[in-house]
Amino acid sequence: MKISVIGCGYLGAVHAACMADFGHEVVGVDVDPEKVSKLAAGIPSFHEPGLEPLLRKGVDGGDLTFTTDKSALSQARVHFIAVGTPQRGGSYAADLSYVWSAVDDILTHARPQPDGPLVIVGKSTVPVGTAQAIAERIAEAGLDAVVVWNPEFLREGLAVQDTLTPDRVVYGLPDDHAAGDTARSALDEVYAPILEAGIPRLLVNYPTAELVKVAANSFLATKISFINSMAELCDATGADVSRLAEAIGHDDRIGPKFLQAGIGFGGGCLPKDIRAFMARAGELGVDQSLTFLREVDSINMRRRDHAVELASTMAGGRLVGVKVAVLGLTFKPDSDDVRDSPALDIAGRLWGRGANVVATDPAGAEAVRALRPDLQIVDTADEALDGADLVMLLTAWKEYVAIDPAHAKSLVATPRVIDGRNVLDPQRWTDSGWEYRGMGRRSGPSA
């Protein structure tokens, strides 16, 4: 199958490489020449485990190309829209300008193909109603093409695995049966290896497919804020949220995943997706249905306030001149993404309160240096710890979780640690002479 992927960010670059791995002929199209030249050389433009070998294989084998030249769209039968839908400035709503410009590019450059009708596949996360609006625009312009909505559920750091072996695939099909059959059989061909592996495929209509994605992200965000609200209760009562999560997680209706209390969720998806969902519900006149997401959002933001206040309390009531070692800046480990990162936000707030912040991160340092040149970034945890009055672990990178408390104690000025992700062993750190504080967690024995 000849495929184009419009937008080569996290989603598009991974999708293009995986589709080439499935044996298709793929061209990735993006407006950013720097990104395109890296990808065309088989080099990922961001940190994503497992992506580089896949890119190199596709590029070297000639099945995978990247270009800024939109006329390349004329060669493909299936066009994937994989552009970003960031939060619109001054509003909660999603900015769809990149989606509409991808549609315009398809209208300008796509050409009929000998092996069947054109199929336009939306993968970007969009407000419900967008697929129908795109289908109408395509029909008005007279392009003979079917639109199908096929949301992605990939997690950064696991994006390749999530694309090659997803939990499920969802096809949002048009109401017209013939058009729906065309779209379904084209996507079945594209995803043949996934379907042969028995991965569930759900056929739904456009609005259901669009809602599946935001509903899934809203549920995940709610789960995290739920356990973070329990962390607040634990702090107020002397209970331990990690043990509480473990205990409720044994109930398989609840499950143990996504119950890690800490400084909350961030990144390029969950925060902006729940906000765009609330904005869309307002437009549809059903804003009450999602008012709980406001609470999810505010519990999440409160975690950051709490971490800063805890730092101030542990430092004796003020942060001016206090040397704080910040371990981790990305929104989660195994990613170089600092978009809406709770860790970076907290580091910035500490700096704003007069702390002498010395931060480090295995993958996010470069992005932070560009965004926040005022923050001091060092290369190693040892450098950050050197002479620190307070240590804050804010992203659960393996190497930080594995830090030996005795070694760390030999480097710092005062052994005080805030475990912003509840990943350190409180007993071990306390036994090594540290004042340990987690998020809703006891510092001593919890039973």
Residues that bind ligand UDX (CB under 6 A): 152-156, 217, 220, 224, 258-260, 262, 264-267, 269-270, 331-332
Give residues with Cβ within 8 angstroms of 273, minimum separation 6: 125, 213, 214, 217, 218, 221
Complex with ligand UDX: residue 82 or 224, whichever CB lies closer: 224
Query: Considering beta carbons, is residue 264 or 415 the nearer one to ligand UDX?
Result: 264
To ligand UDX, the closest distance from the beta carbon of 152 in angstroms equals 6
Q: Is-catalytic flag, 8?
A: no
What is the token pair recorded at 361?
């991160």
Rounded to a whole number of angstroms, the minimum distance from the CB of residue 303 to ligand UDX is: 8
Whether the CA torsion 30, 31, 34, 35 is positive or negative: it is negative
The least CB distance from residue 307 to ligand UDX, in Å, is: 12
Is the CB of residue 381 less than 8 Å from the CB of residue 327? Answer: yes
Q: How far is the CB of 257 from ligand UDX (least distance, A)?
A: 7
- Judged by CB, which is closer to ligand UDX: 152, or 235? 152
Q: How far is the CB of 364 from ligand UDX (least distance, A)?
A: 12
What's the closest the beta carbon of residue 24 comes to ligand UDX, in angstroms? 22
Taking the CA atoms of 176, 178, 182 and 188 in sequence, report the sign of the dihedral they define. Answer: positive
Q: Which is nearer to ligand UDX, 186 or 307 (CB)?
A: 307
Identity of the residue, 217 or 312, whose beta carbon is nearer to ligand UDX in the bound complex: 217
Count of residues for the chain?
447
Query: What SS3 string covers the chain?
Result: CEEEEECCCHHHHHHHHHHHHCCCEEEEECCCHHHHHHHHCCCCCCCCCCHHHHHHHHHHHCCEEEECCHHHHHHCCEEEECCCCCECCCCCCECCHHHHHHHHHHHHHCCCECCECEEEEECCCCCCCHHHHHHHHHHHCCCCEEEEECCCCCCCCCHHHHHHCCCCEEEEECCCHHHHHHHHHHHHHHCHHHHHCCCCEEEEEHHHHHHHHHHHHHHHHHHHHHHHHHHHHHHHHCCCHHHHHHHHHCCCCCCCCCCCCCCCCCCCCHHHHHHHHHHHHHHCCCHHHHHHHHHHHHHHHHHHHHHHHHHHHHCCCCCCCCEEEEECCCCCCCCCCCCCCHHHHHHHHHHHCCCEEEEECCCCHHHHHHHCCCCEECCCHHHHHCCCCEEEECCCCHHHHCCCHHHHHHHCCCCEEEECCCCCCHHHHHHCCCEEECCCCCCCCCC
Specify the residue, 180 or 264, whose C-beta has the smaller distance to ligand UDX: 264
State the nearest-atom distance from the C-beta of 5 to ligand UDX, in Å.
17
Considering beta carbons, is residue 42 or 127 the nearer one to ligand UDX? 127
Give the nearer residue to ligand UDX in terms of CB position, either 144 or 295. Answer: 295
Residue 87 CB, nearest approach to ligand UDX (Å): 14
Cβ within 8 Å of residue 430, ≥6 positions away: 436, 443, 444
> Among 8, 18, 234, 269, which one carries the catalytic annotation?
269
Residues with catalytic function: 269
